[in-house]
Every structure is written in structure tokens, then in C-alpha cells.
Structure 1
């Protein structure tokens, strides 16, 4: 309990903005994300250069050695909810610095191991946990610093991963030939310690929209004025609690319509528009009681918000699993992950099996990485154009389909040039997908930026199972068929399934595939129509229309006192 209430001293204090700055210290955060990408995902994707050395030294099979990356990726993604909880509790700086320490320690320790099982622990568990605590906080805070330029900046910053593959992988390959794979791993671990410095530069950000009080007083009704006054009290208390923890606040999250019990009490007290003065004293008493209860229960409780809301905003919000569009998007990420790591892990061995020299085959990673850089630039520019800002999911879907076709192509090519072409196409579309699939959570078509911190943790957690299964599945296919091209079959199948789920995300946000009726709506339907059965709108249009009208009346009455709050909780 003491650990949960602990507060961590921050190297750089929180900076408050009325909206996402789209620049400023955000550019420093972008550089940090660039370096983190280079020494996390870039190193993971370059791990294939050590595959043959470990197989020979430990006398193991492809599938056994590939478990190193599988365990690492699984630990990195499976523990993403832990990363979300820690960054919401202790802040981005502390979590990333701890992650950097674990990464460096785990990689250096790997160079002293004497068996494959020990590498499972040092690199798979320790380094994997460090990757988890490092990557997710940086991509989350970067999305909070940028709004209009989010897609472009994320795409540019994420090129660190591609640079590591194109420049560092050949360099590490040469170094391995000179000093051996063990000492090369130690050098990589020493370089990864720069992540500790990067973590200290992640200045927290607070988003608090400015209120134009004179404008609100002139144009607002008495109910709206009282609602605004109530919300200001709530926001000041919440800001007090949040400013010393994760430093990120969106007023839209402080009180949701479903959870705002305080405002519901106000609505019940007010029986007529002219009764504001009459009811002012009872309302004040209610709020005073809420405030007293808040102070007694601790600074984690928020006046006007339920206990559940406060806990979710501070730790991890699993209520997003009720969002059909998020569930479908998570299934997209689950199956797409099958095609993320296996190609880069097996491309060198595939090239050698097609008649290339091993030194020449190493450059396939570089070709793939350079193409990936171009893909990230292009998708960042495309998604920043006005014509595509409301069609981002459709653009992403096209990229996934093209990537699926290319993965099938890997199984058919037989010479250097066609293999290089497949690497170029794969790298390009991998770049478009890799730099957008997590930041896309911040879009309103998925969950929105207010819940991205928790959504990213749950989303990556769901991805973890595919990350665990992908490389070993490819290794088993290789061991059975004696053909490295077979490893790309599972990638193509997974990517194809991900395209299907991604195609349903936008319709789900509009309520088409999984429209649900609220309990209150169903109650109204059965009260007005005792013999009513839930059927489609086409079969009984009149009854459906009546029920929706009744529900709308109820929601309108409940939301009258919240209209003023909605005007000031703008989304950036």
C-alpha cells in the first residue's frame, strides 16, 4: 500500500498547456522516442544475426533458438498493463529509466550465459521487461504532445527502429565476426544504457483547457453556470492529485456522464428553471458532504466522481473492453503481430538457402530497413493531409492487405533480385503499419486520446500472445519442411486475418456490427410494450422508433445539468 501511494521526484517538472502544443518540448520527446525505438525494436529485429551462432554453439534447433525472441516479445507485450499502471502511478520518467536499466543489464548478462535456458531468462525475461517499461510510456507521451502533427511526428520518430536495422545490424555483424557474438552482445547492452538518460528527458504534460468565464457568464443558463462552477471545483481537486504523479490530465476524463452522481443530484433538486436560488442551499450541502468525504478517504477520491472512475483514471481502465471497436482493433493487432518479427528473424537464413553468401544476406535486413524508413515518411505525410484525416483506418487497411500479398510472395521467390523486391515491399508497408498501429488508438474512431494510456496497455497485452507464438511457429514449420520460406506462411495467414478485423473497426464505432441496448432503454420498451420482443428495426420500425425516443428523453433530462461541462471539456 505504501508503494502505491509513493510519489517519485521528477527530473523535469510538469508543463501545463491549454491544448496539445504540437511542438515545444515535444520535439525533445520525439528525439527520445527515436532513440528508444532504435535500441528496443531495432535490436529485436536485428537479433537474427546471432541466430546461427547460437544454434552452433548450443547445438539447438531453429525453433528452440527462436524462443528467445518469442519470450522477449511476450514479456514486453504481456506486461504492458503493468507498464500502464506504473506510468500512471510513478510518471513516465521513472518508469523509462528503470526500463533502460533492465535492458542494459539483461543484454550484458546474456554475454556471460552458458546455456540457452539462461538466455531465456536474461534476454527473454529481464530485457523483455525492460523493453515493456520503456517503449509504451514514450509512445504514449509523444501522442499527448502532438495532435495535428501526431501522425507525421510519430512516423518520423519511429524511424529509429529502421535505422538500427539498416546501419547497426551490418555493423554488429562485422563486429561479431571480429570479437564474437558474446562480446558484441555486451557492446549492445552498453549502448542501450543511453535509454536511462532518455527517460529523464520525458517531461510530463498537463492539458487543461482555458475557460472564458466572461463569455460563459453572458451566454450560459443558470443550470449551466452551476454546472461550470461544480466542474471547476472538481478539476482543481483532480489536478492537485494528478500533477505529482503522471502529469497528464484531460478534463474530459475527470467526470463521465455515466459516473457524475453529483450532477445527477443537482438535476433532481432543480424542478424548474427559476428554482436555482431556492435549491442553492441544498446543493451546497451536498457538495460540502462530498468534499468532506473526499478529504477523509484520501487524495485518490475525487468530488463528484465515483470511486471507480478515480481508480480507473489513476491506474488501468479495463472498461474499454466493452467498446466493440476497441475489441476488433485489438484482434487486428493480435493477428498482425504474427507478421511483425518472423520475417526479420528468418530473412537472413532464407537468403542463404536461396544461394546467397551470408555476408550478402545480411544486407537484406538493410534493404528492408531503408524501405521501412520511406514507408514511415510516406504514411506520416499521407495521414497528415486533410483528405485522409477522417480515413486513417481505411489507409491502414490498404497497407495491411498489401503486406499480406507480399508475405505470400516470400514463399515463391527463388533469386536475389526477386527476394530484394519482396524485402523492399515488405519494409515499406511494415513501416506504414509499425508507426501507426499504436498511435491510431488516439483517434476517435478507436478510443480517443483521453483513454490512450490504458488502451495502449490493454492493446499491447492482447498482442503478446501472438508475439509468443509467431517466431516458434515459424521455427516449427522450418524444422518440419526444411524450407525457410515456410516460416512466412504463418505470417501471411495472420496478417490476412488482421485485415478482416480491421475492416470492421469503423463500422463498429458507428454501432453497426454490435449495437447494444442499455438496460434503461429495454425497461422503457417493456413498460410501454409489454409484449415487445427485441427485433431488428426493419421488422418493427414503429416500436423501435418509440423506444429510442423514450430513451432520448431520459438521456436529455439526465444531461441537462452537464451541458455546460461538455462545452469546456474540449478534445485535443
Structure 2
């Protein structure tokens, strides 16, 4: 099979497939509210316990990237997506037959969420294997699919009305199966094959002779490969030992600039998802209707789709730095949060904030591939993105409950949003701290992927 060349040909079909998977994940992610209503009607359990199903789904959708790292290391993006699609389909189908909320929480929140996280993370990683010069543009277009998925969330509600609370899960299983069809378009690329050759060669170093051999990606003949040798041999001249997935995670996490960037993602999403969860109810408490509250989320989704495309276009050249872009957008969002008590008591002001929330909350995702390659290199891309998505998931899982505890203890929404703004500003500061550590260590734009460059 002819391998896909970066930035041209079939790479754009891969981008289309990634976009389609993002649309499905965005639709399912924003559909947790509809599923929440379906579970309330079906099981008549408490609101807090029922809400845990949707919260767990959103968290595992991000944290599922860890599973993606293990599968991508051994197999390919196509296999990882097929496995994730199958997990989602089986999980939703089982929910159709379950009779207790606890079991639904396990299958919907845990199993389906993990499958969704696997497909989502792979849809991000596959772009790094198919684009080089136009990586940020591709990333912006792909993740804008999440915003389109938010716009399509009313489809989930219409499905529920047509097929009932249980039938909803069966239809969602069909949606999930389509993700596997998109993943079938992930044809192997030259960059992905090169990464596989490097990893497999590392795993067999203890059996190699004095010379290291690689695979000529054009002819599939076994020849001496200077490029592979360069990637495998550190500048010190010593050959590293066999590298397991655990050691890869350790090496990446001990990279101080990368670890600080993950801390930025955790803190920022901790605050951002407090806003996503509470903004509709905030509108109702200020005299709006439930429909008006849902419109706020739709407005943020539309703006998010636009912002992600523009971010990719803006950062596609060296004139705009991705780390600086991340710092600036999070800072603007934090300031808009701090000022929300001043203008947010009118519905017009809430619309204005929804625009800010959509434009600046999802900018980090188009930048993940570029920032990861700059900090840890191409060979560690899958592991790095997996850890980043895990950090995002931890923020999603911990932020809304902490906000809820504060409100339940007598705190006001205005004070909660004010503190959330400072939290988001803290995330922005961590992004610049990561860049400071990178420049202090003088890491090049494309870091050598050997371990010596990572620690």
C-alpha cells in the first residue's frame, strides 16, 4: 500500500475523517444533558447521583486518551479508532437492556466514555502523522467539528422523543458505529510508519548488531537508514535500552515544560467546565427560561467552531507562537469571567459572555499537536497527547463538583464565577511558565525524541 505523504493527497481525506469523528464526539458530549433527563425519568433517582453518569462520561472521554497511547504504540490510528468505536457501540447497546442506574453509570459513564476518549484522542494524534507545514490549520479544522457537534445536539433530543428513553441508547449505538467507518479512512502515512519503525527498532536494540537497520518506506526493502539511526542514537553516542510504555510516560512526564503545560490544561479546564455546567442555570436564576439557557451553550458552540479554525490559520506560521496564543486566549477568558458579575445579570450580557466562552475556551485543542511535537518530538506524540487529554479530563471531573460544593454551601454564582476567572488566569500563567522552562533549556522547535532530550 502506498503511504500517505504529509500535507497532500489522502492527508486531506484523513482530515475529513477526523472532523467527522469530532462532530460525533461533540454531539455526544453535549448530549449528556438529554441523557440526564432520560435517566431521571427512567430510574427516578436523585439529581446528584443521576448527574454523575454524565460527569463520568465527560471525564473519561478526555481521560480515555491514556488507553489510546497504549494502543497507538503497538498498532495504528485505524486500529485504535475501530476499537474505540466498538467499545462505544457495545456500551450503548448494553445500556438499552440495563435496569439499574448504577449499571448505567458503569456502562455509559465508564465504558462508553473510555471508547469516546480513545476515538477523540486518536483523531487528534492522526493529524500529527499526516500534516507538517499545515498542522495547525488541520488541527483547527478538525477540532471545529466539536463545535458543529454542539450545534447538532438538538438531534439527540429529537431522537429521544421519537424512540423513548431506552430507544435513545440504541440509536446512540448506531452513531458510535459510524465512528469506525470514519476511522477506516485513516490510511497509514509515511510519518506514522516512520514512528512505528523507530519504536520497533528500539524494542529490539538488544538483538541488533553494531549497525542499526530500518525499513526504506518507499520500497519496503531492509537497508541502512541514516534517518532512523539519527533518531535512535542520542547525541551522546549511546544507544538507549528497550523502552516500554511506562517508561515513555515517565520520560514525557519528567519533561518539566511539558508537565507544566499539562498543569495549565488541568487548571484551565477546571474553571471552564464550572462555567459550562452552571451558565444555563445562572440564566434561569436571572429571569430567563430553560430554552434561553440552552441557547447560551449553542452560541458558545458556534463561536467555538469558528475560533478553532481561526486558531489553526493564525498559528500555521512562525509569526504567531502557539504558547503565546494559548496564554492570550485564556487570559481574555479569565478577565471576562471576573467581570461577568458586572454585566451578566441581563440576557444580553449572558450572550456576550457565551461568545467569549466559545471563542476562547477551546483554543488549546488545535494547538496540542504543535506544542507536543515542539516539547517532546514526533516519536512521543501519541503518549504526549494522551497525557494532555488525561489532564483535561481530570479538570472536567474535578471542576464542576467543586463549584457545586461551593454553591451548595451558600456561595453565590457571582462569587463563584469571580473565583473561576482567577483560576482560568492561573492556567494562563502556567502556559507561559511552560514556555519559560522550554526556552531556559533551549529546547529546539523539533526536539530530538531520545530520552536525553526529554529529561
Under TM normalisation by the shorter chain, which class is it?
Answer: 0.7 to 0.9
Please name the residue that 1:256 is paired with: 234
Deviations 1:383-437 (A, max 9, x none): 124421xx2211110001111123335555122211111111110112323332x
Please name the residue that 1:173 is paired with: 157
Instruction: Work out which of the residue numbers 287, 293, 311 in structure 2 matches 1:379.
Output: 311
Give runs of aligned pairs for residues 329-408 of structure 1, distance below 5 A: 329-388=261-320, 391-408=321-338
Deviations 1:365-396 (A, max 9, x none): 221111112211221221124421xx221111
The question of 1:197 aligning with 2:181 is answered: yes
Q: What is the CA-CA distance between 1:54 and the residue it aligns to?
A: 3.9
2:121 & 2:373 partners in 1: Cα distance? 17
Are the structure 2 counterparts of residues 122 and 458 from structure 1 closer, same or farther at C-alpha, using a change threshold of 3 Å? same
Instruction: Work out which of the residue numbers 140, 145, 149 in structure 2 matches 1:164.
Output: 149
Q: TM-score, with normalisation over the residues of structure 2?
A: 0.82
Aligned-residue RMSD, C-alpha: 3.5
Instruction: Work out which of the residue numbers 84, 94, 119 in structure 2 matches 1:134.
Output: 119
2:381 & 2:390 partners in 1: Cα distance? 14
Q: What is the CA-CA distance between 1:22 and the residue it aligns to?
A: 1.0
- How many pairs were matched up? 424
Deviations 1:281-302 (A, max 9, x none): xxxxxxxxxxxxxxxxxxxxxx
Please name the residue that 2:136 is paired with: 151
The question of 1:440 aligning with 2:370 is answered: yes
Please name the residue that 1:275 is paired with: none
2:18 & 2:432 partners in 1: Cα distance? 29
Please name the residue that 1:75 is paired with: 60
8 Å CA contact retained: 2:72, 2:80: yes
Q: What is the CA-CA distance between 1:30 and the residue it aligns to?
A: 0.7
The question of 1:122 aligning with 2:107 is answered: yes
Q: TM-score, with normalisation over the residues of structure 1?
A: 0.66
Instruction: Work out which of the residue numbers 444, 461, 473 in structure 1 matches 2:402.
Output: 473
Please name the residue that 1:15 is paired with: 3
Are the structure 2 counterparts of residues 486 and 54 from structure 1 closer, same or farther at C-alpha, using a change threshold of 3 Å? farther
Give runs of aligned pairs for residues 149-548 of structure 1, distance below 5 A: 149-166=134-151, 168-177=152-161, 179-207=163-191, 233-236=211-214, 252-258=230-236, 260-261=237-238, 305-309=239-243, 311=244, 316-388=248-320, 391-410=321-340, 413-436=344-367, 438-444=368-374, 446-481=375-410, 488=417, 491-511=420-440
2:294 & 2:416 partners in 1: Cα distance? 18
Q: What is the CA-CA distance between 1:102 and the residue it aligns to?
A: 1.2
Long gaps (5+) in structure 1: 1-12, 211-229, 244-248, 262-304, 516-564, 567-572
8 Å CA contact retained: 2:326, 2:428: no
Deviations 1:267-311 (A, max 9, x none): xxxxxxxxxxxxxxxxxxxxxxxxxxxxxxxxxxxxxx33235x4
8 Å CA contact retained: 1:474, 1:486: no
Deviations 1:509-544 (A, max 9, x none): 1227xx9xxxxxxxxxxxxxxxxxxxxxxxxxxxxx
Please name the residue that 1:26 is paired with: 11
Deviations 1:59-78 (A, max 9, x none): 55554333223322443444
1:410 & 1:182 partners in 2: Cα distance? 39
